[in-house]
A and B are shown apart, each in its own frame.
Chain A
Amino acid sequence: DTAVSQTPKYLVTQMGNDKSIKCEQNLGHDTMYWYKQDSKKFLKIMFSYNNKELIINETVPNRFSPKSPDKAHLNLHINSLELGDSAVYFCASSQDRQAYGYTFGSGTRLTVV
């Protein structure tokens, strides 16, 4: 069983569309994250939830909205997609806020055309 699973793996969409990326972890971890990897392969935090509570919200356009229905799921919804949103988005989880057991999903490559 995959520990942190993201869907879809690839997403190609037109500018202006709204899309969602789903993430689920079966590790029993309390904390989940969304990271963005840009074209230069640099990773940066976007959001973090701990037990369904938003604890990190970096300077991200408000077109990006995370949703955590329960501690095993953290979805990312993006409105009005722009060309600059093209990137690889990684979901991750850790045991707790102390960052033990960091585990990454396999990434979602988003291409906006």
Chain B
Amino acid sequence: KNEVEQSPQNLTAQEGEFITINCSYSVGISALHWLQQHPGGGIVSLFMLSSGKKKHGRLIATINIQEKHSSLHITASHPRDSAVYICAVTASGSRLTFGEGTQLTVNP
């Protein structure tokens, strides 16, 4: 069993819909990261969280340390949001342990 589990694996939405991607982890962590991998392959760091909630534009990330759970929300989704979203954690040190990713497709 992977230390970081994401759901769903695949998600298809219509433009404008509110989207939620979930991440659960089984180890003690120092931080949780949300990453976005574009169809071209590049990886961008969206958020690094150790508690509470962060917001950037239409993206919101929350974390519940007690429940070992994080969510990434996208409001008013757009086709350009189509990408793979990856949850990753840092437990000891700065190495990232990754979830398997959620493939998001937003249709116009």
Shortest CB-to-CB span from A28 to chain B, Å, is: 16
Given contacts A104-B43, A106-B41, contact A99 B90 (CB under 8 A): yes
Is A86 positioned at the interface, with any CB of B under 8 Å from its CB? no
Interface class of chain B by DSSP: strand
Query: When each residue 76-108 of chain B gets 1 if its CB lies under 8 Å from chain A and 0 otherwise, what string results?
Result: 000000001010101001111110110000000
Once the chains bind, are A102 and B33 in contact (CB under 8 Å)?
Answer: yes
Is A45 positioned at the interface, with any CB of B under 8 Å from its CB? yes
Shortest CB-to-CB span from B75 to chain A, Å, is: 24
Chain A residues, Cβ within 8 Å of B57 = none
Interface class of chain A by DSSP: strand
Is A107 positioned at the interface, with any CB of B under 8 Å from its CB? yes
Q: Which of B30, B48, B84 lies in contact with A102, CB distance below 8 A?
A: B48
In B15-37, which residues have CB < 8 Å from any A CB?
A: 30-31, 33, 35, 37
Q: Which of B48, B88, B98 lies in contact with A100, CB distance below 8 A?
A: B48
Chain B residues, Cβ within 8 Å of A48 = 93-95
Is B42 positioned at the interface, with any CB of A under 8 Å from its CB? yes
Number of residues in A with C-beta < 8 Å to the partner?
28
New contact pairs (11) apart from A43-B96, A109-B41, CB-CB < 8 Å: A41-B37, A41-B101, A42-B98, A43-B98, A45-B95, A96-B94, A99-B90, A99-B94, A102-B48, A107-B42, A107-B43
A contact residues vs B (CB 8 Å cutoff):
31, 33, 35, 40-45, 48, 55-56, 88, 90, 92, 94, 96-104, 106-107, 109
B contact residues vs A (CB 8 Å cutoff):
30-31, 33, 35, 37, 41-45, 48, 84, 86, 88, 90, 93-98, 100-101
Q: List 30 A-B contacts (CB under 8 A).
A: A33-B94, A35-B96, A40-B100, A41-B101, A42-B101, A43-B86, A45-B95, A45-B96, A48-B93, A48-B94, A48-B95, A56-B95, A88-B41, A94-B94, A97-B94, A98-B30, A98-B31, A99-B30, A99-B48, A99-B90, A99-B94, A101-B45, A102-B33, A102-B45, A102-B48, A102-B96, A104-B45, A106-B42, A107-B42, A107-B43
